Structures are given as C-alpha cells and as structure tokens.
Amino acid sequence: MKNTYLKDFHEGRSLDAYRHFGAHPEREGVRFTVYAPNAQAIQVIGSFDEWECEGHEMKKVDERGTWSLYIKGAKVNDSYKYRITQATGRVVDKMDPYAFYSELRPNTASVVEDLSYDGWEDAEWLKGRSKGFDRPINIYEVHIGSWMKEEDEDFVNYRKIAGRLIDYVKQNHFTHIELMPLCEYPFDGSWGYQCSGYFSVTSRYGTCHDLMYLVNEAHKAGIGVIMDFVPVHFVKDDFSLSYFDGTALYEYPRAHDADSQWGTANFDLWKEEVRSFLMSAASFWIDVYHVDGLRMDAISNAIFWHGNKQLGVNEGALDFIKRMNFMLNEKYQGKIMLIAEDSTDFPNVTKSTLEGGLGFDYKWDLGWMNDTLKYLEKDPIYRKWHHNNITFSMAYFYSERFIMEFSHDEVVHGKKTIVDKIWGSYEEKFAQLRTLYLYMFTHPGKKLNFMGNELAHFREWDEEKQCDWDLLKYPMHDAFHRYFAKLGELYSKTPALYETEYDWTSFQWIDADNADENMFSYLRKNENSYYIVILNFSPNAYKKHAFGVPEKGVYHELLNTEQDIWGGEITELGKMKAVEKECNKLPYTIEVDVPAFGGVLLELKKRKKPVKKAVK
C-alpha cells in the first residue's frame, strides 16, 4: 500500500479507499486490509480454512492502524470475518467494513468478490449524462424487493426484474429510477436505511454482477439510475462497525452524540478517516456500479446536531458534506446528481460549495409536500382558510433547486396513501387526485413519485408485499394510471415545464388569491409558448369563468382532468379565444369551463414577431 494513499485517507480526502482496504484477489490468493488503530491483534477467519484462525494473524503495516495479510489459497466467493482482539481485550468477530459482498441475512460474514464486469455497454450514456437542470427529470422511487414478484418468491433478482421494471418505467414516461438503499443491512424492516455494509450490495436480490446488469440495461434504454445513500448513521449490531476496534472508531465518542433517534449510531463526521470511508462509499456506487446520482438521506441530521435546530449547527458534519460534494463533482466532471433529503430551512443547500453552499444539486421540497397534502385532507368548506398552503411554495421556491416529491415516507406508518389522504368519497378522491397531479407536473421543480402512487394505491406500502397490480382491473384505477403516464409524457415533451423552471421568469401567478372558490391559476412560459394552468379544489363547477392571459390568440385545451378517458364526463377538449379585456391585471381575457374538483391545462403558441428586412 502506497504511503501517498494513506496520507489522503488520514487527511479525509480519499475517494477510493475501497481500492486498498477490504479483500482483493491477488495472484493465487487474497489480500485482506483493514483499519483498526486500537486493536491489540487481528486474525482473518474464513471458509478458505474451515474458519480456523491459526496462522492468519494480520500485521500492522503502518503506525496509524492499518493491518494487512495475504492469504494464499483464499479465493472469490470465500466468506470471511476479522477476529479482533479489541482495545479492551474483548475478542469479537467483525464483518469487513470495506467488503464488496456479504452473506444473506441472518448470516453476517463478508464474501470475497471480484467486481470486474465485462457486460458494460453504456459508454455513450456515461459520456452524455448531466445534472439535468435543463432536462425533464421524472423519478420513479422503487423498493426493489416489493415492486413486483412471483407468489413463491422470497426475493426478486436484480437481473430477472430488469426487463419488466425498465419497460414499465419507459411506458410511464419516467426518466430515472431511484433505488432505495442497496448497501447491505441486517433488518428487512429498515428498508436499507440502517446499513451495515457500505460497499456491499445487499445479497437479498442477487449478485454484484446482477445489479450491474440492471443498471446497464437501464442506461441502454435511456433511463438514469439514482442510488439512495445513508451517510449519517449505521446499525449498532455487534458484527458491524459499532466499536469496531473496541473504541468509538466510526461513531462519536460521547453517547449523547452517537445515539441517534432511530436506535442507530451517528457517524463521527468530524473524524478524517470516517470522512474518507463515507466519501469513498459514495464514489464507489458511481464508479463501480455506474449510478447517475445519489439521494442522500437525513441530511438535516448532518446539518444540525440530531437534526434539531435548537441544538445548533454541526460544523464538522457540514465541512464533511461540502468536501464530499466538491470532490465528487471534481472526480465525475460535474455530471452526476447529488440530491439532499433535508427537512430544515438551512440556506444554500443547493448552492455551489465555491459560493459557500453545501454543494447539492437538488433538495426534496418536503414543505411543499406537507402543505399540499394538509390542504387536500381538509373538507373543501374549510380550504379557503388554508389557501396559502398551496401558494406558499412559490414564495420560497427559487431559494433552492427543489424536487417535488411524494416518496415512500408519505405512504407508511398509518399516514395513509396519497389518494386516501384526500377528503371525499371514492369518486371525489380520484377527481382531486387527478388535479393534484396536474398541479405537481406543472409546478416548477423536478418530480419524484414512489411506486404505487401511479396506481392510486389505497393500501399503505408493505416491504413484504408487491404493489397491488390487480388495481388495474378496476376502471377508475386503470384510467388514473393512464392519466399519470399522459402527464409524464406532456411534461417530458413540453420544454416550458422544465428548461427554465429554476428561473423566476418561467412562472407567473394569474390569480393566487381566489380563496373563496378554492381556485388557483398560473402561467408557465418560455420564448415559444404560454401554458395556462387552472386548478379547482372545490366541489363547484364554474361555467365561463374569466381568467387573465398575456396575449391574444386561441388557447387550446391540452388536458382536462375530467375527460371521460380519465374517469370524468367531458368528451372533447375545447379552445378559448382571448378578447382584449383586462382581467387579473393582464391585458386579455379567456372564459373557461372549470369542472368541479378539476384542472385544465391550456396552450398558446407565441406569435413570432416579423423580422424587419434591412434597407439597402
């Protein structure tokens, strides 16, 4: 191991620690390397020697705590652990923190793996990918184990499910798949958010090469892949990182700081070797598995101590986040997406680190999600008093680059699903659901939906059960599914809805103050087109309702949420001619029939101004 590498590792500047630590096949055996500065002794035990430890004592290769051993005869697919005599004298068997693969739970040994893969066919995709600021981004969040499976399957397989999943994603006009955490984890019910192996793809769903196959197939189909990544906390199970060498090596030394609200241990993000570990783990998934971005979980718990603003800013953790994001962007030439799940109002999360920000590209708009769903839970009689729940998002939208999201967190633990949260009867719920999604897809910001949302799932998500695909046998669910796909198609083919969405000039309220009618109307625009969006969250229909528009011309109805093909009663889309009459402080007026609980999307192509010929 080169001293230059160890220097970077101990300075917290390594992005490729996995190339040196862990188990690496060499010649006729395997080299094992681990960092455990306070261990008294370490032995490698494994299936290559019937789990005997005699003769497999590791040696310290530097004074700062790196141990290494080459074992002739060890090979790929052998399972192994480190038997550590800790600083306290206790002897414990630990998994390899840098293992690339692990035994299927409840077993906990690490497995020697060869990550070389000759199946990659995505060179052009990798060359052309970007952060997508001026592209449509419509993300399908997936728990791979419960999306779709056969009745007799305990676990699906990455490779076997790839074709079905990718075809479905394309048919529904999603642009990216976001995979919930696939780092190894011991408890199924944690959904991967309580990790043990940060470099080890979970063995529940197949091999390392199986996951590479899935990502490669997605790229061949023009679909990006985002990985959920958990850089804040880890499981306390004794076989894992917890008190690895008998001291607080990965966690904070004070229990008050180390103990998280989830029963896990918080990483000590002030420690340079921990920074190198996590930065390398983040880089690992981009480098080895070709993922196009990382959605980083629980960033609020990195910004503030325990995620609590009253406890103050965690400056060391912020330094880590800034450094990680900066170095990832440097290594991958600014082409990968870094997404923060952050519920705080901490500023400049998506501002460049060079300008004092945290360096993320996008942030989930959890405020928009909460406000919108709270509004729709209310009886329409009372919505007028909560009108700002809908309008407030545009008061802060341009402070960050937001993703509008309805994620897995919104459909579990007794919260009800998206459709079931909405006030009203079965039919009224669906009418408002269609209008809600028109709002989502025309609101500035990229989009994310958890699997099942597109089916109008009534059952809360359960990681042990697949999506309720039988819902598509019911006309209302089938119609909504087709409607959802149509919205995705409209969004992806309408540049005014995505190209300049983080520029305030692309959005304009027509009427943000019509609380009495539970009505909202706004304008999306670019240099070629105007799009008028009208949302009615009241049970009253309005005939020939006047709305102000910026130019004269004929406004064509692109979509009406109450069309019969979506489950409503309207058979034909209309067109409205603007007259020169001021309305809503705009110079022209159109009259629109607005259905009860309905939404309307209108388009006007801008007239091109004649080009004056130069006089000779």
Report the pLDDT value the prediction gives residue 6, as an integer from 0 to 100. Answer: 87
User: What average pLDDT does this structure show over 414-438?
Assistant: 97
The yes-or-no verdict on residue 285 having pLDDT over 90 is yes
Q: How confident is the model at residue 614 (pLDDT cuts 50, 70, 90)?
A: low
pLDDT at 137 over 90: yes
Give me the chain's average pLDDT, please: 95
The confidence band for 1, taking pLDDT boundaries of 50, 70 and 90, is very low
Q: For residue 426, is pLDDT > 60?
A: yes
pLDDT of residue 605: 87
Task: Name the active-site residue from 8, 257, 292, 297.
Answer: 297
Angle between helices 158-171 and 208-220 (to 10 degrees): 20
**pLDDT exceeds cutoff 80 at 587:** yes
Interior/surface letters 248-283, b for 16+ CB within 10 angstroms, e for the rest = bbbbbeeeebbbbeeebbbbbbbbebbbbbbbbbbb
Task: Report whether pLDDT(8) > 90.
Answer: yes
Least confident range of 52-56, 168-172, 204-208: 52-56
Q: Which residues contact 600 (CB under 8 A, 6 or more apart)?
A: 532, 533, 534, 557, 559, 560, 561, 592, 594
Residue 53 pLDDT class (50, 70, 90 cuts): confident
| Residue 580 DSSP one-character state | S
CA 590 – CA 265 distance, rounded (Å): 59
**Segment 64-76 mean pLDDT:** 96
> According to the model, what pLDDT value does residue 611 have?
57
**Greatest Cα-to-Cα distance within the chain, rounded to the nearest angstrom:** 96
The alpha-helical segments, DSSP class H, found in 308-406 are 315-331, 366-377, 380-383, 388-391, 393-396
Q: Please tell me which residue in 78, 228, 341, 410 is annotated as part of the active site.
A: 341
CB-count exposure of residue 70 (10 Å: 0-12, 13-18, 19+): middle
The pLDDT, as a whole number, for residue 153 is 79
Stretch 5-27: mean pLDDT: 94
Q: How far apart are alpha carbons 99 and 110 in whole angstroms?
A: 6
Residue 55 pLDDT grade (very low, low, confident, very high; cuts 50, 70, 90): confident
User: What mean pLDDT comes out for the span 343-366?
Assistant: 96
The secondary structure element, H or E, covering residue 282 is helix 272-289
Quote the CA–CA distance of 570 and 251 in Å, as a whole number.
Answer: 60
Q: What average pLDDT does this structure show over 35-50?
A: 96
For residue 612, what pLDDT band results from cuts at 50, 70 and 90? Answer: low
The rounded distance, in Å, linking the Cα atoms of 241 and 97 is 7
Per residue in 516-543, pLDDT (tens digit) is 999 999 999 999 899 999 999 999 999 9
Residue 259 confidence (pLDDT): 95
Gyration radius of the chain's alpha carbons: 27
Residue 337 bridge partners (DSSP): 293
- Are 196 and 243 contacting, i.e. CB atoms less than 8 angstroms apart? no
Q: Is 375's pLDDT higher than 50? A: yes
Percentage of the chain beyond pLDDT 90 is 94
Rounded mean pLDDT, 176-199: 96
Separation between Cα atoms, residue 27 and residue 11, nearest integer Å:
31
Q: How much is the pLDDT for 150?
A: 81
pLDDT of residue 154: 84
Give the pLDDT mean for 412-437: 97
> Is the pLDDT assigned to residue 84 strictly greater than 60?
yes
Burial class (CB in 10 A: 0-12, 13-18, 19+), 593: middle
Full 3-state SS string of 536-573 = ECCCCCEEEEEEEECCCCEEEEEEECCEHHHCCCECCC
Clarify whether 297 is annotated catalytic.
Answer: yes
pLDDT tier at 613 (50, 70, 90 boundaries)?
Answer: low
